[in-house]
Structure 1
């Protein structure tokens, strides 16, 4: 007699489900939480088969397609449905090897696509406050560097990798550099595509304040525009860490990372200009569809303004 999963987990399920769960626990060594999730998925499968008077070896793809649609209609998220299908598929694959079924009824079934989460952007006032924030305490050189970094990330929408790749002076090997006279930054983006982005007056002023400190900090042969205390090129992780600390110092109510400033740059520019193509070019997106997500952020902003201001908008009952 084959033992089931110890305790109540899976003990109430029809055979061969307890044997399969034992296989997952003993042979596959699944973690307890994962085993519970698989048990829940298989319990749904068993209940659906029983409701239709079907033995588990008589379940067909259209039965599972109907069950998946029902679960989705009940509010199960696409990721949860993907786990359900994975548990069912694994069970029938194992049972097929055991000789219980000839075909796997889950093969070919796919969960609905999960909606891509909207990028998080700071409100305009918070983004401006962060870019302008210069703490009174701390190392003046590092404060000047961090101020220039923040102004560039928000003012030009650079990726953090593009920012740390900037060199102080243009050269044949430079991945990117800033032309202060022309108020532009030249970067090497994704797919090794070059693009030129305007640099605002606040960023240029912050860079001018940083450059004398850089001359003192940078190692003799270091070309990087932004360097660490050791005089070497600043890393992505160091920028992220410094930006988090700066946001806390500025009193922002949310954790800030470099890409959030890029999202804020795009969203705020689109709110003001409405020019999606221009935003696409400035961000260096290969496809306009990538940039279109910011139209959703823009609509969210408009909806909040409407709800707060229009006399016929939905307002919370007072």
Structure 2
């Protein structure tokens, strides 16, 4: 398993043999472990520290060096896993008194943002008409798409909307004021402007809703059983609508939220307003520098968002 280029430390050589013979790891996995352990050996030799004397502060520094060298967080996590396994194996034979890698974590990988639809595709999705669907369902689904894309709502915020405000309402839409009041993450309330197309679709849906909703159901969006729609039902209906509209990709609610933000930012360049409209938790950290009132947010929305035309 050795190569002429690297003379492996005896502990590493025996550990790799253990992984190959007793653990029966695949060749590709063995190659990854070997590469990681060669890195560990190189770090230890450069620091003049015997492998069995490595301490947690060494591991933390070396993990930091891997990051500086440009390794991705996932690759660093794999290296640390290989190192951790070596010391766990040495510990079982009593060759080390502690595992210096325990508690050392790789830097968190940045979560990739969901893909955004183009403005044309987003508008096509909102304006798609399903002639084969029941009129009430078609009206409901169009209203949901208009609010997800036109207001940047989370799916939980959407299904939490009630027909009218009450002491128990998580959210509602004030049509007269063209404003959606929603309860976001961390039970934080925010108000979002509602564009003209969304308001018109809301009127159409409310006219059809009475035939579907149970008499005592407060939810704005209901299923065919007459009860509050669930997030999974919204995802299913959105996926179906996107396929029927001929969109080249699967669509989910958060993709519409990201499209909302992307299209606003592309048109306005006002990152602060977009963050406020989305209700991100980190907004509070910037409030000491910038204070935006709702009127400014509404102006940014009216001027920049494709579905805000002739709002109200």
Report the TM-score when normalising by structure 2.
0.75
Kept after mapping to 1: 8 A contact 2:164/2:218: yes
Deviation at residue 266 of structure 1 after TM alignment = 1.1
- Equivalences for 1:146-295 in 2 at 5 Å? 146-288=141-283
Matched with 2:97 is 102
Q: Distance in 1 between matches of 2:220 and 2:261?
A: 24
Matched with 1:14 is 13
Q: Distance in 1 between matches of 2:130 and 2:79?
A: 51
Deviation at residue 43 of structure 1 after TM alignment = 2.1
Change (3 A) 1:63 1:214: closer
Deviation at residue 142 of structure 1 after TM alignment = 0.6
Q: Distance in 2 between matches of 1:226 and 1:49?
A: 57
Change (3 A) 1:98 1:142: same
Deviation at residue 286 of structure 1 after TM alignment = 2.5
Deviation at residue 108 of structure 1 after TM alignment = 6.2
Q: 128, 137, 162: which is aligned to 1:142?
A: 137
Partner SS state of residue 246, structure 2: coil
**Are 1:79 and 2:74 matched, yes or no?**
yes
Kept after mapping to 2: 8 A contact 1:120/1:260: yes
Kept after mapping to 1: 8 A contact 2:40/2:83: no
Report the TM-score when normalising by structure 1.
0.74
Change (3 A) 1:130 1:241: same
Q: Distance in 1 between matches of 2:168 and 2:59?
A: 61
Q: Distance in 2 between matches of 1:134 and 1:44?
A: 56
Matched with 2:121 is 126
Partner SS state of residue 181, structure 2: strand
- Residues 32-90 of structure 1: CA distance to partner in whole angstroms, max 9, x if unpaired? 67x963x33432255457776999855746599669856985x7532133022112212
Change (3 A) 1:280 1:70: closer
Q: Distance in 1 between matches of 2:50 and 2:22?
A: 18
Kept after mapping to 2: 8 A contact 1:243/1:256: yes
Unaligned runs of 5+ in 2: 1-11, 287-312
Q: Distance in 2 between matches of 1:232 and 1:152?
A: 19
**Are 1:44 and 2:39 matched, yes or no?**
no
* Larger relative contact order (CA 8 Å, sep ≥ 6): 2
Matched with 1:302 is none
Kept after mapping to 2: 8 A contact 1:162/1:188: yes
**Bigger shift: residues 180-189 or 95-104:** 95-104
